[in-house]
Amino acid sequence: MVTLKQLPVEELWGPGHNACAGCGSSIAVKMILKALRGPTVVVSPTGCVEVVSSSYPQTAWGVPWVHVLFENAAAVASGIEAAYKYMVKKGITNEKPDVIVIAGDGGTFDIGLQALSGALERWHDFLYICYDNEAYMNTGIQRSSATPKGAWTTTSPAGKVIPGKPEWKKDLIGIAVAHGIPYAATATIAYWNDLITKVRKALEVEGPTVLHVLAPCPLGWRFDPSKTVEISRLAVQTRYFPLYEVENGVYKLSVKVSRPKPVEEFLRPQRRFRHLFTPENRHIIEEIQKNIDEGWERLLKRCGLKS
């Protein structure tokens, strides 16, 4: 695991980006760029990180950075990776840069999933990182397939009949692993050394790799901007967002949560879940807890561990 002392002082993210105070995605990007091992190209689809970092004529990027459209980051990255493969083959350049996609959950779980699947299947040597803030935050907090069950968003409002999003969140790592890729992992900003270590590890691996990074969003999750890291930590400590990695199909738990906190502790500080704390909706919290418990058991089994 990487230590603070080993991190480069150089900042490749900002200063001068326009992210909200306490933006979890911005913290994630800053950490990701601390893990680089050499020449790197970053590709981002349309989304929060893209918008806060590239208002012409300014840029927050200290590395070459490419934005084309919303659903095609994995395809654009494929093109860059293949181009450099060709240039090395032809002796036009001798160095193949690492290619990293940094994409939101909308651009990954939803509209960009096909392009991602294609790029994984074609075995491009690149790292795809999804910073997951669990909704379309840039356009004003609309639900995505990464939005958790029960959460309020502007398109899954907490109405009188339907109390927030009825559906469960999609299993991104499960989908990624199904492609047989050599490395996939989850991470979140509160566990910074785990996150940075995993980015570096993924870069070292030949072939396509995927990181799913939970990035709390004060604006959309409705919590105080000073609490971003706390919320991120609570996500792990309640087993809401387990940290693990899958190396060549072998699952390994990164953080063992032996005495989990009840999920309520993760939900309560976030006003997107406020409506669940009423007598008529409390059963949803119970369903969420049950889902977490079952998910944890499944994960332990995959990791070859006993509960």
Q: Do 104 and 130 meet the contact criterion of CB atoms below 8 Å apart?
A: yes
User: In angstroms, what is the minimal distance from the CB of 34 to another protein?
Assistant: 16
User: In angstroms, what is the minimal distance from the CB of 112 to another protein?
Assistant: 10
Between residues 57 and 279, which has the closer beta carbon with respect to another protein? 57
Closest residue by Cα to residue 172 from 243, 113, 121: 113
Rounded CA-CA distance 107/130 in Å is 8
Which residues fall within 8 angstroms of residue 253, CB to CB, at 6 or more apart? 242, 243, 244, 299, 300, 303, 305
Which residues fall within 8 angstroms of residue 294, CB to CB, at 6 or more apart? none
Distance linking the first and last C-alpha atoms of the chain: 25
Between residues 179 and 227, which has the closer beta carbon with respect to another protein? 179
Handedness of CA 225, 229, 230, 232 (dihedral sign): positive
Which residues fall within 8 angstroms of residue 293, CB to CB, at 6 or more apart? 239
User: In angstroms, what is the minimal distance from the CB of 264 to another protein?
Assistant: 40
Between residues 63 and 299, which has the closer beta carbon with respect to another protein? 63
Between residues 116 and 141, which has the closer beta carbon with respect to another protein? 116
Rounded CA-CA distance 71/198 in Å is 25
Positions in the binding site for another protein (CB under 8 A): 39-41, 43, 50-51, 54-59, 61-69, 71-72, 74-87, 89-90, 95, 97, 114-115, 117-118, 121-122
Between residues 7 and 63, which has the closer beta carbon with respect to another protein? 63
Between residues 37 and 271, which has the closer beta carbon with respect to another protein? 37
User: In angstroms, what is the minimal distance from the CB of 206 to another protein?
Assistant: 17
Q: What is the DSSP letter of 106?
A: I
Rounded CA-CA distance 32/165 in Å is 30
User: In angstroms, what is the minimal distance from the CB of 208 to another protein?
Assistant: 14
User: In angstroms, what is the minimal distance from the CB of 120 to another protein?
Assistant: 10
